[in-house]
Amino acid sequence: MANNPENYLIAGNDEHGINPPTLGKRTPLMPYINRQIYENEWNFAVKNAFLADCLRIGFFIFDVKPNRQDASVSSRVTLVNRAQPSCVITFGYNAFGDPNAFSSPNGVEVFYSPLNVYAQRSQALSSAVYNEILNATSLNGRGIKTLDVGMLSNVRTVATLIEAGFMTNFNEAKLMLDPDHINTVGRATCKGVCNYFNVEYTPIDEMNFPTLRVGSRGRFVRYLQFVLKTEGYVLGSVDGIFGTNTQNAVKAFQQANGLTDDGIVGRNTWYKLNNLYPTARVLKKGSYGAEVKYLQQKLYSFLYPVGTIDGIFGTNTERAVKQFQQENGLTPDGIVGNNTWDYLMDRANSRPLPTPTQNNNSEDNFIENKAID
C-alpha cells in the first residue's frame, strides 16, 4: 500500500542567485539573443516546478530559498535543519573548462554525501531521482556520484543534488530556458521522490482536479496558490485556504487568459493554469494568455528574440515567429498553427551555433565546476 504524501515535508533548494547574479555562474555568450543565461534562471525555475508538483501530489513543502538573492550555505543549512524536512533536493547546473567557451561535456549527474548522517538513504534517493530524470529526458547519464558540500553533508536529513546539464554545452545551455525541459525535470524529480517514499505518483494530465472556490481547503488549494504565486500573482501565503486574496488572484489570472473572471477554478481555468494543451490553439498577433507565454518561452529557448515574455502576441513575437518559420522552410505568415507547433516541439529546429566551435576541450582530466558551497 502506498504511503500518504501528507506525512512528508519536502524541501527544495536552488543554488546561487540572480538579483544580483552570482559571480561566474552563467553560460558563455548565447548567439542571436546576445546574452548569457544565469545558472539561477534554471535552478530557480526547476525548483519551483518540482515544488509545485510535490504540492499537486499532496506533499507539504519547504522552500529553502524563495528569494532570487544568493544566500550563504550555512544559513540555508540552518534553515533546513530547523525545518526538519523528510528530504532536501538541491538544483544546480554543471560547467566544464573555459566558462566563456562552449565545450562537449554533457549530461545529468546526481550527488550525495557519504558524510551525511543518512548517507545510505541519500544514495537511495539520488538513485531514485536520477533514474526518473533519465527515463523522462534524452540526457546522457553520467551517474550518481559523491560530493562533500554543505547542502549535502551538513544537513540532518536525506539530501541530494541534481545537475541536469552543462551550461558550457551549447545545446544544454539552450535547455535552461525551455519550459518543457524545466517541467519535465521538475516532475521527474518529484516522481523520484515519490518512488523513494513509496507514494503514488499521478501524471499531471491524468489527475482529476476538483473545482475550487472561496471556502475550499487542502492540497489542491495549496497547489493553486503556489502556481499563481510563481506566475507573479500576489495572494499572500500558500496556506491551503481559498480566501479573498486567492479569489482575487484567480480572477486576475482568468482576465489575463480570456476566461470568465468569476474566481472559481473549474476545468477551463485548470487547463490554463497547468498549460496542458498549449499547442491546440492557433496563435497570431493579438492573441494573449498562457499559450502565448509558452510560445514566447519556446522561441526564446530556440534563441529567437521575442522581447518581453509577457503572454501578449505583439510585433516582437510575430517577428520571431516569422524568422523561425522562414529558417525552417515554413510559410512565414506569423501565424502559429499545427505545422509551426510541430516544428517548435522538435529541438532539432532550434538555432545552431553561427559557426563551428573551435573549442576542442575533451573530458580528459575532467574537473567539474563544483564551487557551489
Q: What pLDDT was estimated at residue 32? A: 98
d(CA 214, CA 230): 20
Q: Determine the straight-line distance between the first and last CA of the chain, rounded to whole angstroms.
A: 39
**What average pLDDT does the segment 249-259 reach?**
97
Distances (CA, A) of 316 to 57, 207, 268, 279, 305: 38, 36, 28, 20, 8
Please choose, from the candidates 60, 62, 57, the residue with its C-alpha nearest in 3D space to the C-alpha of residue 209: 57
Within 13 A of 333's CA, how many CA atoms are on the CB side? Answer: 10
How confident is the model over 349-368, as pLDDT tens digits? Answer: 999 999 764 444 444 333 34
Cα–Cα distance, 33 to 31 (Å, whole number) = 6
Which pLDDT band holds residue 66 (cuts at 50, 70, 90)? very high
Task: Please give the pLDDT value at position 371.
Answer: 40
Other C-beta atoms closer than 10 Å to the C-beta of 239 total 14
Q: What is the DSSP letter of 46?
A: H
| Spatial distance between the Cα atoms of 13 and 10, rounded to a whole number of angstroms | 10
Q: Is 165 helix (H, G, I), strand (E, B) or coil?
A: strand
Q: List all residues 6 or more positions away from 120 whose beta carbon is below 8 Å from its beta carbon.
A: none
pLDDT tens, residue by residue, 170-219? 999 999 999 999 999 999 999 999 999 999 999 999 999 999 999 999 99
pLDDT bucket at 235, cuts 50 / 70 / 90: confident
Query: Residue 150: what residue type?
Result: G
What's the order of all strands across the beta sheet hosting 108-112? 60-63, 9-14, 87-94, 158-166, 108-112, 141-146
pLDDT of residue 234: 84
- The pLDDT tens digits of the residues spanning 152-164 come to 999 999 999 999 9
Q: Of the candidates 62, 271, 252, which has an alpha carbon nearest to the alpha carbon of residue 157?
A: 62
Residue with cell 525551455: 178
Alpha carbon distance 197, 125 (integer Å): 9
* CA distances from residue 222 to 187, 193, 211 in whole angstroms, order as listed: 17, 19, 14
The verdict on whether omega for the bond into residue 20 sits within 30 degrees of 0, i.e. cis, is yes
What DSSP string runs through 198-219?
TB----GGG--PPPB-TT-BSH
The count of other CB atoms within 10 Å of the CB of residue 356 is 7
**Residue of 163, 38, 37, 159 whose CA lies nearest to 87:** 159
Question: Tell me, what's the pLDDT at 139?
Answer: 98
pLDDT value at position 232?
Answer: 93
Q: What is the mean pLDDT of residues 289-311?
A: 97
Identity of residue 366: F
For residue 12, the SS3 value is strand
Average pLDDT, the chain: 94
Give pLDDT, residue 1. Answer: 87
Q: Measure Cα distances from 39 to 148, 166, 358 in Å.
A: 21, 10, 24
Cα 366 from Cα 253, distance rounded (Å): 47
Percent of the chain clearing pLDDT 90 (strictly above)? 92
* Global confidence as pTM: 0.94
Q: What is the pLDDT of residue 215?
A: 98
Q: Helix, strand, or coil here: 367? A: coil
Q: Give me the mean pLDDT over the 138-142 stretch.
A: 97
What is the reported pLDDT for 364?
Answer: 38
Q: What domains appear along the chain, each with residue ranges and CATH number?
A: 5-197 (3.40.630.40), 208-274 (1.10.101.10), 279-349 (1.10.101.10)
Give backbone dihedrals phi and psi of 295, rounded to 5 degrees, phi first.
-60, -45
Q: Quote the CA–CA distance of 359 and 336 in Å, as a whole number.
A: 37
**Residue for cell digits 524568422?**
323
Q: 157-193 in b/e burial notation, b at 16+ Cβ within 10 A?
A: bbbbbbbbbbbbbbebbbbbbbbbbbbbbbbbbbbbb
For strands 60-63 and 108-112, give the pairing.
unpaired
Grid coordinates standing for 55?
Answer: 504540492
